[in-house]
Amino acid sequence: MSQTALIVEDDPGTRHVISATLATAGIESTFAETGADMWKLLETKPDVLILDLSLPDADGLELLRQLRQNSEIPVLIHSTRSDEIERIIGIEIGADDFLPKPCNMRELLARTRSLLRRSQIRNDSHSKVDARRLRFGDWTLDTASRELHHADGSPAPLGVSGYALLNAFLAHPFEPLSREKLSRVLKREYVPYDRIIDVHVSQIRRILGKQADGGAFIKTLRSQGYVFIAPVDILP
């Protein structure tokens, strides 16, 4: 079954180059030149979103913030607004990856395919018989629906990358996980000093808040990575 990328980009040359690159891997493309067009085309259920931050009618970060209120479609930001602050904000509000313009199109293709693979795993998990509910503190992660809920019943959207990382932590409580290993969880090539993993972990920490004793669920291990420091119960 073919997969489709929604490219939200107002520059026709960039749209053409991206779509031609994706086509080499059999990924079809649809195009939105504005934020308004993006909302319309999202109704066609694309598999991944490639988002420019500077659009004629909207700020891409605000579009992403609104999108994450009701959608977990994988999002790759591709923008000239690529300083560290913009990248951190983009990841924190729900982007799964960030590539600055200009970039190597092979890398963009690799990142897009990685997001599509993780999304497919998410969709396939609905039919797995070994799906579980993992409880820790006041939280429960349902691996069938890929949803995180607080004890009061309120949901907490994680996004594709946030879910993958939290699930990895819950599978290995009290076990140090290096940034390299966590990069493999996201099917990313490990690059020293790449802060994508750190930003995703920061986002998870902010969602989970503190444990009953006031400590964080995820502890930073200097020069090693991270460790999840709470008991995890498997519920029926």
Residue 146: left if φ>0, alpha if ψ -120 to 50, beta else—which one? Answer: left
Domains and CATH numbers, the chain: 3-125 (3.40.50.2300), 128-235 (1.10.10.10)
pLDDT at 197: 87
pLDDT at 102: 85
AA identity, residue 152: D
Q: Does the structure show a pLDDT above 50 at 127?
A: no
Give the pLDDT band (50/70/90) at residue 76. Answer: very high
Q: Do 50 and 24 contact (CB within 8 A), yes or no? A: no
pLDDT tens per residue across span 174-200: 999 998 899 888 877 777 767 788 888
* Average pLDDT, rounded, for the chain: 87
